Amino acid sequence: MNAQVAQVENAQMDAVAAAADLVARGRAAMAAYDNHDQARIDEAVTALAWSIYKPENAKALAELAVKDTGLGNVPSKITKNTRKTFGTLRDLMRVKTTGVIEELPEKGLVKYAKPVGVVAAVCPSTNPAATPVNKAMMALKGGNAVVIAPSPAGYATTARTVELMRAELAKGGHPPDLVQILPAPVSKELTQALMEACDLIACTGSQNNVRRAYSSGTVAIGVGAGNVPVIIDATADLDDAAEKICASKIFDNSTSCSSENSLVILDDIYDDALAALQRAGGYLADQGEKQKIVDTLWVNGKLNRHVIAKDADVFADVAGLGDAAAKAKYFIVEDDDIAAGQLSDEKLALVLTVYRAKDFDDAKAKVAEILEIKGKGHSCGIHTKDLEHARTLAEDLDVVRVLVNQAHTFGNGGGFNNGLNFTLSMGCGTWAGNSISDNLNYSHFINITHLVTTIPEDKPSEEELFGAYWQKYGK
């Protein structure tokens, strides 16, 4: 036992030393980084973007990611590597992040942006290339250095991604140590040591990792679990909704936290909506097939890693669904028991649960119930021509994002036709135990100094402030 204790203690000391070395190198890189020159910062950010956007790199990293993790598919990951990177670069090139970033003479305020320090970027196996680049771009935009803590399952992909980022930085004369990666083999102890040694943690991945980040003693930004429910309203364009839902559901084999997991369809158009979903590529499972899907997707109460994020024909074969199902794009399962917490939970597979609602109020209540199972704070959506219904969801539900008539996977993390910031990390507010209720973006990677000068006195009278209260309740 003493030998085992000594071994554990030695491993922990090694992890602390390794993390301290990475952070020290990051600080040295920051000292050599031209992070007071916006043009040079933007060059460095563009270098990171090009390292994965470059067509041959986007393809090679996508192929490596699927081989490395067994999750998703190559075409979707190529799209993710390029589209997310391009959109994030667009956002970052439009903002100033060093020196004076805002002047408010009427308030006597001038705001200066400054780096937060060395960032620990904890990244998931679902996006072992796109997420590290996405976070590194935001970190360097703020003038910081970043150390990537990858998922062990995606290590080879993330390590290659970091090599490419460092090479592009060196090409432009920027310190390569602005972007580093934990050495293999990655362990919980090593990731924990990094989180405790850095200045800021940006954590995307399992909720266990997020909780560990928040309890590390370092300022942390974590994100919540996804489990997106979407309403198909009585006024929806059913074929348009079905096409968008299909494209979103099958993207990267449903690895995205923004992928639709449940649909709530109003009774008035229920049958027509199911028909539209099938025309768009969905396969409607009968009750026997439904049980096969459930038994295949969950083993001993946990998602079966042998079938999640796999192609539809692979899932159909393992589940024994037959030839017709194997030719479909995804699988539709009807259910009426949200509280069971299985089919209403996040599935990370090409399985979409459908619930029938008697009217809009019932649909809204069902969405809220689904979010209580998992996904509270994250997002929901609606396909409708009645914007008042969309506004009602935004007013009444505890979510950060409500998407209207959009393919959720392509809009939730930023879109070229909506105003959300491009990101691969969605904050879910206090509803999910998160410190941000926004899409992770550059503003989370800067500190702001306020220069404060005097202005003409702005002090109202007591009557102006208390008058209405006194009149109503007395003094």
Catalytic choice (123, 246, 257, 428):
257
Local structure of residue 299 (DSSP, 8 states): E
- DSSP E strands in 321-423: the ranges are 330-334, 351-357, 377-383, 399-404
Q: What's the rounded Cα separation, in Å, for the pair 47 and 52?
A: 9
* β-bridge mates for residue 265, sequence order: 232, 356
- DSSP E strands in 218-269: the ranges are 220-222, 228-232, 260-266
Contact 398, 434 (CB under 8 A): no
Q: What's the rounded Cα separation, in Å, for the pair 350 and 273?
A: 18
Q: What's the rounded Cα separation, in Å, for the pair 376 and 28?
A: 41
Question: Where does 198-237 have alpha helices with state H?
Answer: 207-214
- 472 half-sphere exposure, CB direction, 13 A CA radius: 4
159-to-43, 128, 147, 174 alpha-carbon distances in Å: 22, 9, 11, 19
Structure tokens at 414: 């930023």
Contact 116, 142 (CB under 8 A): yes
Contact 185, 202 (CB under 8 A): no
Q: Is residue 203 flagged as an active site residue?
A: no
Residue 347: alpha-carbon gap to chain centroid: 16
Residue (of 423, 374, 373, 429) closest to 400 by Cα position = 429
Contact 47, 174 (CB under 8 A): yes
Describe the crossing of helices 55-69 and 38-53 by its angle, rounded to 10 degrees: 60
- Please identify every residue annotated as catalytic: 257
